Amino acid sequence: MIVRSSTGAYEMIDFRERAPAAAFQDMYNSNTDASLYGGLASGVPGELRGLEYLHSVYGKLPWTTLVEPSISLARNGFTITEEFVYYMNSTTPSNAFLYQDPAWAIDFAPQGKLLEVGDVMTRKGYADTLAAVARCGPEAFYTGPIANATITTLRSSGGIMTLRDLRNYTAIIRKPVAINYRGFKVFSTIPISVPTFGHDVSYYQHQHGRDQTPTVLYKEIDSMRNRVDRPS
């Protein structure tokens, strides 16, 4: 995440998931599916730690005020859209776990089959987790009962994450990259695993010169992003 302060300074907050301490370079060589499915596929989640830093440095509203709308949405439900169905069907080759695993089926297939466009979905367990985070802050997720349940579930399905991995996670503050483009200075995150906006601009500027309009450039970069985010 890139943040611009009231003084005009920029910083990058890196809260991407990280490999557990017990991970090693060749751990998926004999089973590449394990990098996608099961407990071994999970990295240590960092979003809450990143948002915690963001709020502590830049936030003005109370933490609970910011979390409450998400709690309400999860508890009271939302209408399933075509896009939501697309992503449900893209989770695994068969997405069977969404209706076969009771932990998932309670939300995604409460009547024994996957929800469809127009149905209302609730996430009451998720709402309870968010409520704990609202009351106690991110520490409620990284330690205590929620952390214990997370590690128990992951390790029961082959994972190697530990309570120490969760407890030790911290967001990293990095220096953004900056490029000059048509008289403007563009700030972007450093590339963690995929091309960033700043690198895409530099690439297309180099490949196509300076005769492209901003609209054309934006569409090209957005198409590249979609190739990463949403397979055809």
Instruction: Give dist(CA 97, CA 92) in Å, integer.
Output: 8
201 in the same domain as 162: no
Per residue in 80-105, pLDDT (tens digit) is 999 999 999 888 777 788 999 999 99
What pLDDT does 146 receive?
Answer: 97
Read off the pLDDT of residues 162-189 as tens digits, 9 standing for 90 and up. 999 999 999 999 999 888 877 888 888 8
Please report the pLDDT score of residue 91 as a whole number. 82
Could you give the dihedral angle defined by the CA atoms of residues 171, 173, 18 and 96, in that order, rounded to the nearest 10 degrees?
70
Instruction: State whether 21 and 39 are in the same domain.
Output: yes
Do 49 and 15 form a contact (C-beta atoms < 8 A)?
A: yes
In a domain, 187, yes or no: yes
Confidence (pLDDT) at 177: 87
Q: Are residues 182 and 216 in the same domain?
A: yes
Look-up of token digits 């967001």: 171
Domain-embedded: residue 126: no
- For the stretch 195-231, pLDDT in tens is 555 555 555 555 555 556 777 766 666 665 554 444 4
User: Does 119 fall in a domain?
Assistant: no
Q: How many domains does the chain have?
A: 2
Q: What local confidence, expressed as pLDDT, does residue 197 receive? A: 54
Name the region of 137 (left: φ>0; alpha: ψ -120 to 50; beta: rest).
Answer: left
Q: Same structural domain for residues 167 and 150?
A: yes
For residue 175, the surrounding DSSP H or E stretch is none
More reliable by pLDDT, 193 or 107: 107
Residue ending a domain, choose from 173, 192, 218: 173
Please give the pLDDT value at position 204. 53
Q: What confidence score (pLDDT) does residue 192 get?
A: 63
For residue 151, being part of any structural domain is answered with: yes
Q: Evaluate whether residue 67 is within a structural domain.
A: no
What residue numbers bound the domain in which 224 lies?
177-229
Instruction: Write the pLDDT tens digit of every residue in 20-76.
Output: 999 999 999 999 999 988 999 999 999 999 999 999 999 999 999 999 999 999 999
Residue 93 lies in a domain: no
* Both structure tokens of 153: 């579930």
Provide the terminal-to-terminal Cα distance of the chain, rounded to the nearest Å: 26
Question: Range with the lowest mean pLDDT among 3-17, 109-123, 178-192, 216-230?
Answer: 216-230
Residue 186 has φ and ψ, to the nearest 5°, of: -105, 125
pLDDT tens digits for 130-157?
999 999 999 999 999 999 999 999 999 9
Q: Is residue 202 part of a domain?
A: yes
- Strands 2-4, 120-121: pairing kind: unpaired
Say if 74 falls within a structural domain: no
Q: Do 159 and 189 sit in the same domain of this protein? A: no
